[in-house]
Amino acid sequence: MHIFIPKKSANSPNPVRLLIKEVEAGQKIDYLKKRKEIAALEEISPASYRQWHDFLKEEFADQLEVMNFEKLQKGQIIHCLLSYIGNAKGKDINLLVKQALEKTRFKFAQVKDFTDYEEIAAKLLKKEELKKFFYTDADIFLEKEIADSRGHIKRLDRLVVGAQETWILDYKSIKVSSESNFEQIKEYIGMVKQIYPKKDVRGYLLYLDDLSLEEISL
């Protein structure tokens, strides 16, 4: 191993050269001879059989996540932004979005331009089929934590509790038909029904890549 110490540091002599003397240690190796010794070794037996498909799934990131990395990151930012927007009824939408955006900036310092996110949030709040979740006389709970009968904690992105109905709105970064997403909402519906047994509980998925809404039934 060789360590090279520059003679100068900026425009001055490098003081490190005064602390470290020139030292040569170790033993030179004849790599040609070494290669002959390796070639003389017995042939190594092949690796034992294994399920390479499962192994590769563990070793490498999910292909869907890699392909949709930008969409996933974008969805996370919009999700965070929505977590700061409560009931918008009778309020200045542009001001609500700007206030939520200021809080979101602290969590995503690596993002320099939030213009797109501001526009998406404003568009979302103006979309007719989504207004019932954001403009209402009902109680709205953001990032609401609830526990099931076994004490497991679940966090609901948005819970709207009205006089007759209760709505669960769960955000997803990309629109993908996923059985696990459906089962998750069904689990939430079951848990909320235990809290509000006399109310009609409905669950929805909001896909943040195209702002589409999907209702999930038990």
* pLDDT tens-digit series, residues 41-84: 445 455 444 454 454 444 444 555 555 677 788 889 999 999 99
Burial class (CB in 10 A: 0-12, 13-18, 19+), 2: exposed
Q: Is the pLDDT of residue 207 over 90?
A: yes
Write down the domain spans for the chain: 65-128, 130-216
Share the mean pLDDT of the chain.
81
Q: Evaluate if pTM is beyond 0.75.
A: no
Q: Report the topology of domain 130-216.
A: Lambda Exonuclease; Chain A (3.90.320)
Which pLDDT tens digit goes with each residue over 154-188? 999 999 999 999 999 999 988 887 888 899 999 99
Confidence grade of residue 95 (pLDDT, cut at 50, 70, 90)? very high
Per-residue pLDDT at 61: 45
